[in-house]
Structure 1
Amino acid sequence: MKPGQIQTLTIAEQISSGFILKDELGEKAFIQKIFADESWEIGNEVDVFVYQDDGALKATTEKANAQVGEFAVMTCVQSLPTGAFMDWGIIKDLFIPYKQQKSKILEGKRYIVYVYEDEATGLTTGTTKFKRNPQYEDLPLRQGDKVDLIMMNESELGWNVVINKEYIGLIYASDVFKKLYPLSEETGYIKTIREDGKIDVTLQPQGFENVDEFKQAILDKLNDNYGLLYLSDKSSPEEIKDELQMSKKNFKKAIGSLYKDKIIEIADDRIKLL
């Protein structure tokens, strides 16, 4: 049985306070009645999240913010000299020892937390100490993949981000076309997986095949401005970024396509709906 993860277990026994579940090797975990479904019967297989509590294995049907090997944004519910307890999304809080805190964790504040199994104790533990832009091998990601992002922090190069709750990547400053905030969630796209295993991400899809998204953004803006937009292919990248949150390259692709489709008219200093 693997604490800190969702697993499929078999209902082995029902007792007054809940159920005893077991895995294929016969290892057992207890789940309280309040987390069980009325339809459960002995022999049923159920998907549960397994966690440790006072040396015992327990289970819940609640959804944890993160499993072992994942990142999540969590709120500190109690801060002590020995460590901090974080809201894990389940009945049990996640403990972060003081030595695993990048800076002192304060009660009521939100942090990006990585969940792992402590090799020394075997306990599921959290940490706010992790490498920036680590090197990965055999990634299940490909260039152009759409991914979920958590914004970590801004640096001289750009923004460090968590990708799909499992990996750390970088959005270069030159690829940022909107205001970003730490701990916020965004949609991104894999730009490059470098030979050293580091991941570059962009907030906008790459390639002409994704021009429809930019065309729609321009049409929406035109409709909001009575069919007129004071931007053209001669506008500066900064003007386009401020108005549309896209690169000049993508803007030019989009208005070129709209022009060919006879949807807009392009002048020296503006575009206009036909």
Structure 2
Amino acid sequence: MKPGQTQSLTISEKISSGFILRDEDGEKAFIQKVFADDSWEIGTEVEVFVYQEEGNFKATTEKANAEIGEFAVMTSVQSLPTGAFMDWGIIKDLFIPYKQQKSKIIEGKRYLVYVYIDDATGLITGTTKFKRNPQYEDLPLRNGDKVDLIIMNESELGWNVVINKQYIGLIYASDVFKKLYPLSEESGYIKTIREDGKIDVSLQPQGFENVDEFKQKIIDKLNDNYGLLYLSDKSSPEEIKEELLMSKKNFKKAIGSLYKDKVIEIKDDRISLL
């Protein structure tokens, strides 16, 4: 049985209140009837999320916000001197002991939480304490990959982010072209996986092969401004960032391609649709 994870279990017994499920080793988990499907029969394999309650394994077809080894933004539903309970997306709340709270968790507020199995108790546990920019090995990521981000916090170098709910990376301040907010979600791209195992992320795709995205953004902006935009390759990086939320480098690539395609005309102080 793999507590804190979604897995396939086999229906071994039907009882009045639900079903008994078993894994390959014969370990049991109970699932309430309310979470079962009318088509379930003994011997059928079902995909469920397994959690712990009072020393027993239980299962649900609900989807947890985060599984073991993942981060998610969760809301505190109760805060006690011993710890806090977080809305985990399933019937059972996730417990964060007081010693695993970076700062005291306040009921009703949202926090970034990491889910793990506590070595001492063997229980699924949450924490708001985690390393900043840790080093990784054998990452299933490549430069240029599009990824999902959770914005963590701003630092001296830029913004710390969670990548695909599992890894911590960094967006350098020079790569930020829009207002970011802690705990918000964004799409991003792997910029560099460094030799020390740290991950640099960009909010925009890298390389000329991704110029189409910037071209379309410029065309959309031109259409919104009656075919005229007071930006050119002589504009400052700050002006381009404010107007288009992109770097000057990507802007120049895009307008160069649009000019070559005879879509726009470039003047000293403006570009316009042909």
Q: Quickly name the TM-score band, shorter chain normalised.
A: over 0.9
CA distance in structure 1 between the partners assigned to 2:110 and 2:80 by the alignment: 16
CA distance in structure 1 between the partners assigned to 2:63 and 2:53 by the alignment: 17
What residue in structure 2 maps to residue 225 of structure 1? Answer: 225
CA distance in structure 1 between the partners assigned to 2:182 and 2:83 by the alignment: 23
| Amino acid of the structure 2 residue aligned with 1:64 | A
Runs of 4+ in 1 over 2 A off after TM superposition: none
What residue in structure 2 maps to residue 35 of structure 1? Answer: 35
Offset at residue 54 of structure 1 (A): 1.2
Aligned length: 274
What residue in structure 2 maps to residue 198 of structure 1? Answer: 198
CA distance in structure 1 between the partners assigned to 2:160 and 2:123 by the alignment: 28
What residue in structure 2 maps to residue 75 of structure 1? Answer: 75
Within-5 A mapping of 1:1-274:
1-274=1-274
CA distance in structure 2 between the partners assigned to 1:194 and 1:209 by the alignment: 22
| Amino acid of the structure 1 residue aligned with 2:186 | E
In the alignment, structure 1 segments of 5+ residues that lack a partner are none
| Amino acid of the structure 1 residue aligned with 2:19 | F
Aligned-partner SS, 1:49: strand
| Amino acid of the structure 1 residue aligned with 2:75 | T
Offset at residue 140 of structure 1 (A): 0.5
Offset at residue 209 of structure 1 (A): 0.2
CA distance in structure 2 between the partners assigned to 1:162 and 1:237 by the alignment: 28
Per-residue CA deviations over 1:195-254 (Å, capped at 9, x if unaligned) read: 100000000000000000000000000000000000000000000000000000000000
CA distance in structure 1 between the partners assigned to 2:78 and 2:156 by the alignment: 33
Q: TM-score if structure 2 supplies the norm length?
A: 1.00
| Amino acid of the structure 1 residue aligned with 2:178 | K
In the alignment, structure 2 segments of 5+ residues that lack a partner are none
